[in-house]
Copies of this chain bind each other. A is one copy, B any other.
């Protein structure tokens, strides 16, 4: 489960990313140089990677760890692997 610490790490990142997306909209509206736009999109994607990794770390430390301790690790590890698979592609 998401906890207070993850919230405090992840929410400011997401607000900054929201600002980046709005910034990219303005770049498109003002017909800024294509390469600069693409680089900003890439920066937002890398920032989203950090959000996913932070939430995934918390997920493993809480839900996955609890399931493993109560011997129910199988399905939750399967679900995690599927999520990593989607995440990398």
User: What residues of chain A have their CB less than 8 Å away from a CB belonging to chain B?
Assistant: 1-3, 6-7, 10-11, 14-15, 17-18, 21-22, 24-25, 28-29, 31-32, 34-35, 37-39, 41-42, 44-46, 48-49, 51-53, 55-65, 68-69, 73, 77, 79-81, 83-89
Decide: A35 and B7 in contact? CB cutoff 8 A.
no
Decide: B25 and A15 in contact? CB cutoff 8 A.
yes
Protomer copies:
4
Q: B residues within 8 A CB of A31?
A: 1-3, 7
Using CB atoms, name the residue of chain B closest to A51: B41
Q: B residues within 8 A CB of A62?
A: 34
* Nearest-Cβ distance from residue A12 to partner chain B, whole angstroms: 10
